[in-house]
A and B are shown apart, each in its own frame.
Chain A
Amino acid sequence: MPVVSLTFDRLKKFIPSASLDDVIEMLPYAALDIEGIEDRVIRVEYNPNRPDFSSDYGIIRALRGLLEIELGTPKFKSAGKSGLSVLVEKQVGPIRPYLLALVARDGALDNETIKQLVAMQEDLHNGVGRRRRKVSIGLHNLDSIRFPVTYKAVRGAYSFVPLGDSTSKSIRQILDQSETGKEYGSILENFDKYPIIVDSAGQTLSLPPIINGQATRVDQKTRNLFVEVTAIDKKAAENILAIIAITLKDAGFKISTVSVRSGGKKIETPQMKSTDIVVDIGYINSVLDLKLDSKKIIKCLRKSRLDARAKGDKIICKIPPYRTDISHPIDIAEEVAIGYGIYNLDPTFPVAIGAGQKNLFSKYFAGIRETLSGLGILESLSFSLTSSEAQYESFGRNSEQALSVDGSKSAEHRILRDSLIPSLLQSLSRNVHEEYPQRLFEIGKTFHKNKAIIERWHVGVVIAHGEAGYTEIKSSMQALLSFCFGKDAKTAGNPSPFFIHGRSANIFVGDKVVGSIGEILPLALENLKLRVPVAAFEINLTELLGLE
């Protein structure tokens, strides 16, 4: 989960009336996890449904509500139209069609503010922006731009000085050679043209979503900002621009709109339009099992920084555009709960209406466990996601039919096992220095490729010691089937990739093959560095028990 740094100094500055202890106490009740506190900084994790928490401004906004310092929707007053405009040309349509922008004036960018804004931009890129594919953000020094600005598409030979560079590079060079080019270049790979934002003096502001231009870079001396958001999803772009607008407003900037002209239409952004959600008071009370009246509900919502009013037995709640987590009456119920304080909710225990029970697998497996441990066999647990080497190569088995997973971060977890015997042998091989005899069993799922993917419950048993052999394993197998299931098992010779030829058999119950049994191949023992003979059996429980 993304993390925001709250410094003690800024908490003191923005919430002077609350003590540090109160803040620390309250953070979890705003759904913020404290990851750590050190060097006068609280590191706070926020949930991805709250992109408005991507800077400390957003978190402070919420805290001021819960601590009852300031209630209701924060005032957002636009400074009106900036009179500046952006033209969106048609060719960007297939690549990245939307551009929205705002102007923020008369602010101050100290070190910590810049840090917060950069971290916010990064989080928004990764979260709502889906690693810049869906939405990306560019911050520019307004005073270095000559308006109007144009958003258009150009060829890869087009060149400009990218941010942090001193010489001009072509777009192709940037995509092939720069760090961000390599990381995000795939977003533009299917197009023969590239989106750029240029001003009327020919300066390049940005190659979205890859990198800004050096010409309009922001530093501590910047007082006025031009912020553009480009996107393939208009709604997501509006949400992000709204979050940026409220954050910059809280940082002391005056926000004014930019006129965006696209396909003959002209809009002023950011629009900052609120939406109303209407909720029954009874619904809120039934979700929370409380008896709150409209006045109390409105107070709770205001603590959650939302304005609301009552109308009959309904509450009309006004949702500002940066609260993208709220779309349904149930979300309002949660905001009421948070405003009410989760710590104020008393747990109630709903009496059961019927009896509970375990399923048949649990009942049968308990019987198997009882029988096998009675035979002195220890239960082992291992992973069903294993390696081709452990599952196939160690036995010289063909892995063609193996079910594999994509992109595993660990070489030991790439193949779904089709048998428990390799896992059990691996367990033995981890215990070669322990006392023998060693007897292990495992109950687990195996996976098989058919038209669909078949999952089966298996039980496997291995016996390892100097004298281990077919007779002992057969008597254990028969004991399991007769003691646990009241079934007589027969064996009939049958080759198996796990067992020595001539010491390998199928297990029959009636005329059904339910498993296999034998002495493990010396090749496998050698591969697994086992120095004693091992005998094993494996039974398909799904088949034996006739359960799906």
Chain B
Amino acid sequence: MLKEVKDAQVSLTDTGRRMQPALEEEQLERRLTTEMITSGKWREVKLGALDVEAPAPVAFPGRVHPLINVIEEIKEIFVGLGFEEIDGPIVQTGFWNFDALFIPQDHSAREMQDTFYVSRQKLDIPASDEQKRKVARVHMGGWGSWNVEEARRVVLRTHTTPVTLRHLADSKASVGRFFSVGRVFRNEKPSYKHLVEFHQVEGVATAPRLSLRDLMGLQKEFYSRMGIKKVKFWPTFFPYTEPSLQSMVYNESMKKWVELFGMGVFRPEVTRPLGIKNPVLAWGGGIERIAMLRFGLDDVRELYSSRLSWLRSVPRCPL
């Protein structure tokens, strides 16, 4: 068997030679102690030099989750734009998640294929008799049918709109700005770009004479405060808003336009049965998408992986 033998020679440098007599001559202390400080002995002792360039052990601070940092930043922007935060249940009835939004009961989004229903549960609809009657009537007029049992099914909310809409309906606010952030659910096969459960933010503004251009303006200002300056709008479709737009923002690092929030003006079939008098502007979308762009992730699941190596590596305020 071969064995490699290394031959090395060590000698003192000039600096070393200069220090050598000192080391031999006087006793150097390695550490400054409490006793030395309190007794005044520190005046007599000499503290040795340390290798100040030597590596130190890595320390890991406790921290708030990076996705929560993004959510908090978004909340601050909403507050700055005069919006009040509201919250509501994740478990909703079909009534508030779909019917009140004029989504027909046979719409494909309501099928088990897309939406999570809680097994073997039906709930009493948390709405006034008048609200129920009027929503039923607008469905009969628009879609020709409406069944209360379908409206009582228990849904894991597919968007935050049941929360904002119900707040508008119950508060009877004729002027107001509200926002809600929370988890929403879709029956998807989880993948690098889809989660079954993610965070959505939604803002609504109501006042006399609010227009589509105001909605675009609010959106533009929101993005600008997120550091996004290039925004354009395309028409699109949502069952409960008209006109409806989607916003495209320019991502400087990817050098391309990316779709972000959807928005629109609530349809009269949504506002009228609930007694909402003024136009309602609404916009919102998933937050994970923004976080992915922010943190340069290409797999959305990383945000929920709790991988310490990732959590410990994301800078809080990158320069």
Within 8 A of B (CB), among A349-384: 349-350, 352-359, 361-362, 366, 369, 372-384
Contacts of A347 in B (CB 8 A): 213, 216-217, 219-220
Q: A352-B82, A378-B308, A455-B91 given as contacts; is B245 within 8 A of A413 (CB)?
A: no
A407 in the interface (beta carbon within 8 A): yes
Q: How far is the CA of A394 from the CA of B124 in the complex (A)?
A: 34
- Shortest Cβ gap from B146 to chain A (Å): 14
Contact (Cβ within 8 A) B68 A362 = no
Stretch at the interface among A47-55, A185-193, A272-280: A47-55
| In-complex Cβ contact of A348 among B62, B86, B213 (8 A) | B213
Closest to B209 in A: A286
Contact (Cβ within 8 A) A384 B197 = yes
Contacts of A289 in B (CB 8 A): 209, 211-214
- Shortest Cβ gap from B126 to chain A (Å): 9
Contacts of A406 in B (CB 8 A): 112, 116-119
B83 in the interface (beta carbon within 8 A): yes
Q: How far is the CA of A327 from the CA of B142 in the complex (A)?
A: 9
B177 in the interface (beta carbon within 8 A): yes
Contact (Cβ within 8 A) A30 B235 = yes
Contacts of B175 in A (CB 8 A): 353
A409 in the interface (beta carbon within 8 A): yes
Within 8 A of A (CB), among B109-155: 112-113, 116-119, 121, 123-124, 142, 144, 154
B98 in the interface (beta carbon within 8 A): no
Q: A358-B79, A383-B197 given as contacts; is B268 within 8 A of A328 (CB)?
A: yes
Q: How far is the CA of A19 from the CA of B126 in the complex (A)?
A: 55
- Shortest Cβ gap from A126 to chain B (Å): 8
Contacts of B142 in A (CB 8 A): 327
Q: What does the 1/0 interface line of A399-424 toward B look like (CB < 8 Å)?
A: 00001111111101100100000000
| In-complex Cβ contact of B212 among A337, A379, A384 (8 A) | A337
Contacts of A345 in B (CB 8 A): 212-213, 216, 233
* Category for how many chain A residues contact B: 35 or more
Contact (Cβ within 8 A) A372 B235 = no
Stretch at the interface among A82-90, A242-250, A431-439: A431-439
From B60, B87, B235, residue with most partner A Cβ within 10 Å: B235
Within 8 A of A (CB), among B174-205: 175-177, 183, 185, 187-190, 195-197, 205
Contact (Cβ within 8 A) A380 B306 = yes
Stretch at the interface among B27-35, B43-51, B236-244: B236-244
Contact (Cβ within 8 A) A356 B81 = yes
B269 in the interface (beta carbon within 8 A): yes
Contacts of A127 in B (CB 8 A): 108
Closest to B237 in A: A47
Contacts of B123 in A (CB 8 A): 452-453
B90 in the interface (beta carbon within 8 A): yes
Q: What does the 1/0 interface line of A313-338 toward B look like (CB < 8 Å)?
A: 00000000000010110110110011
Contact (Cβ within 8 A) B211 A413 = no
B64 in the interface (beta carbon within 8 A): yes
- Shortest Cβ gap from A401 to chain B (Å): 12
Contacts of A28 in B (CB 8 A): 234-235
Contact (Cβ within 8 A) A405 B116 = yes
Contacts of A427 in B (CB 8 A): 306
Q: What does the 1/0 interface line of A103-140 toward B look like (CB < 8 Å)?
A: 00000000000000000000000010010001000000
Q: How far is the CA of A355 from the CA of B83 in the complex (A)?
A: 7
Contact (Cβ within 8 A) B190 A328 = no
- Shortest Cβ gap from B285 to chain A (Å): 15
B156 in the interface (beta carbon within 8 A): yes
B232 in the interface (beta carbon within 8 A): yes
Contact (Cβ within 8 A) B187 A409 = yes
Contacts of A30 in B (CB 8 A): 235
Contact (Cβ within 8 A) A382 B62 = no
B315 in the interface (beta carbon within 8 A): no
Contacts of A410 in B (CB 8 A): 189-190, 196
B210 in the interface (beta carbon within 8 A): yes
Residues of A within 8 A of B (CB): 28-31, 33, 47-50, 127, 130, 134, 233, 235, 286-289, 325, 327-328, 330-331, 333-334, 337-338, 342-343, 345-350, 352-359, 361-362, 366, 369, 372-385, 403-410, 412-413, 416, 426-427, 430-431, 434-435, 438-440, 445, 447, 452-453, 455
Beyond A359-B85, A382-B306, list 19 extra A-B contacts (CB 8 Å).
Answer: A29-B234, A33-B234, A49-B239, A235-B144, A288-B213, A350-B218, A355-B82, A369-B68, A372-B62, A379-B63, A383-B197, A384-B197, A385-B185, A403-B119, A404-B119, A405-B119, A406-B119, A408-B187, A410-B196
Residues of B within 8 A of A (CB): 60-65, 67-68, 72, 75, 78-87, 89-91, 106, 108, 112-113, 116-119, 121, 123-124, 142, 144, 154, 156, 175-177, 183, 185, 187-190, 195-197, 205, 207, 209-214, 216-221, 232-237, 239, 242-245, 265, 267-269, 279, 303-309, 311-312
